[in-house]
């Protein structure tokens, strides 16, 4: 697949950090809406819900908290998203390098998918605690609580109250979400890049609009399979200690109380966010990678 020559995990790492910053700036507001929709309190004996949908959540959040309300909880992912994406692209590059026997021979679809899966494993170490803290901060504002003063306070209190296991609560769910979805994510992007490249041209010469299109579509397909485990993870990570015994209990409870549609809560917010955020992510990556290839070709 592609015309990329020797893969450099180090360049992928640096360019991935730039990609992460671009992704966060473009996508965090709708991520806040997604988490609030997924975790709003259930009221079984009444019809009232805090938010009726994506736009209603956006309107009420801005009305009550201002535009900065959409960026609540951004501190934790801001500290983690750049290194997270750096590690993600590094893992992807490493996976490709390990399977690349000849720089002039393209990798197969399976090899690219497995490289993406490796990226998902690599990122979980950073993602799991960062997402737990992010979700708790996003949800407490919508519930009128003020238990945590910020990301650092949240992390310290979680550690003091329950130990390191509390900080990493939801890790298995994060793996279930991120490993296959990252495989599909990178495979889709690589395939679309090649499909959109005119015959006789190099993939490295792909135009900005086509990079944005490939990245945006990759993001949408990524979340198509990642959303159900993401809903389970968000509920598990923001629930009171002891409410759920594990993954199966979260799934059983949600299906019993709300039905299968509960697994696609926040659907609109996710897909509205997925295209621009991931389009920006891959554009940032490609621009940074081109710069590195010019400035440090021997890396």
- If the chain, 299 residues long, is cut into consecutive pieces of 10 residues, what is the mean pLDDT of each piece? 69 95 87 84 64 90 92 74 91 95 90 97 85 83 76 91 87 89 97 93 91 97 91 83 84 91 83 91 96 89
Residue 209 confidence (pLDDT): 96
Q: What's the pLDDT score for residue 184? A: 97
163 phi and psi, to 5 degrees? 85, -175
- Give the C-alpha separation, 280 to 22, whole Å: 6
The pLDDT, as a whole number, for residue 197 is: 94
CA pair distance 22, 45, nearest whole angstrom: 43
In this prediction, residue 42 carries a pLDDT of: 65
DSSP structure string for 213-264: HHHHHHHHHHHHHHHHHHHHHHHHHHSPTTS--SHHHHHHHHHHHH-GGGGG
pLDDT (0 to 100) of residue 10? 94
pLDDT for 1 equals: 46
| pLDDT at position 82 | 85
To which residue do tokens 């507001």 refer?
Answer: 29
Please name each of the domains of the chain with its CATH number: 9-291 (1.50.40.10)
What DSSP string runs through 151-190?
HHHHHHHHHHHH-HHHHTTTHHHHHHHHHHHHHHHHHHHH
What pLDDT shows up at residue 2?
44
- The SS3 call for residue 299 is coil
20 neighbors 86 (Cβ within 8 angstroms): yes
What the block records as the tokens of 206 is 């792909």
pLDDT of residue 299: 83
The pTM (predicted TM-score) of the whole model is 0.77
* Positive/negative CA dihedral, 14, 19, 22, 25: negative
Q: What is the pLDDT of residue 5?
A: 63
- List all residues 6 or more positions away from 238 whose beta carbon is below 8 Å from its beta carbon: 39, 135, 136, 139
């Amino acid at each position: 697949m592609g015309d990329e020559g020797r893969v450099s995990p180090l360049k992928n790492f640096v360019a991935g950090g730039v990609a992460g910053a671009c992704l966060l700036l473009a996508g965090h507001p709708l991520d806040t809406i997604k988490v609030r929709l997924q975790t709003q309190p259930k009221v079984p004996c009444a019809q009232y819900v805090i938010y009726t949908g994506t736009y209603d959540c956006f309107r009420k959040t801005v009305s009550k908290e201002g535009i900065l309300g959409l960026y609540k909880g951004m501190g934790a992912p801001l500290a983690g998203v750049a290194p997270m994406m750096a590690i993600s692209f590094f893992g992807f590059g490493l996976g490709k390098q390990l399977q690349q026997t000849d720089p002039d021979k393209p990798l197969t679809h399976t090899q690219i998918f497995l490289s993406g899966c490796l990226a998902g494993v690599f990122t979980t170490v950073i993602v799991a605690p960062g997402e737990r803290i992010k979700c708790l901060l996003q949800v407490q504002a919508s519930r009128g609580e003020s238990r945590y003063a910020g990301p650092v306070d949240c992390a310290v209190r979680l550690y003091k109250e329950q130990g390191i296991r509390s900080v990493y609560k939801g890790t298995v769910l994060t793996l279930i979400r991120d490993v296959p979805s990252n495989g599909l994510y990178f495979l889709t992007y690589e395939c679309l890049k090649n499909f959109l490249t005119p015959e006789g041209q190099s993939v490295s010469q792909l135009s900005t609009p086509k990079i944005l299109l490939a990245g945006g579509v990759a993001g949408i397909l990524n979340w198509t399979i990642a959303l159900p485990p993401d809903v389970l993870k968000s509920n598990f990570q923001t629930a009171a200690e002891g409410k759920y015994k594990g993954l199966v209990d979260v799934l059983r409870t949600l299906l019993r109380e709300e039905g299968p549609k509960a697994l696609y809560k926040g659907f609109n917010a996710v897909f509205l966010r997925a295209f621009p955020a991931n389009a920006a992510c891959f554009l940032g990556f490609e621009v940074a990678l081109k710069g590195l290839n010019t400035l440090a070709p021997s890396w």
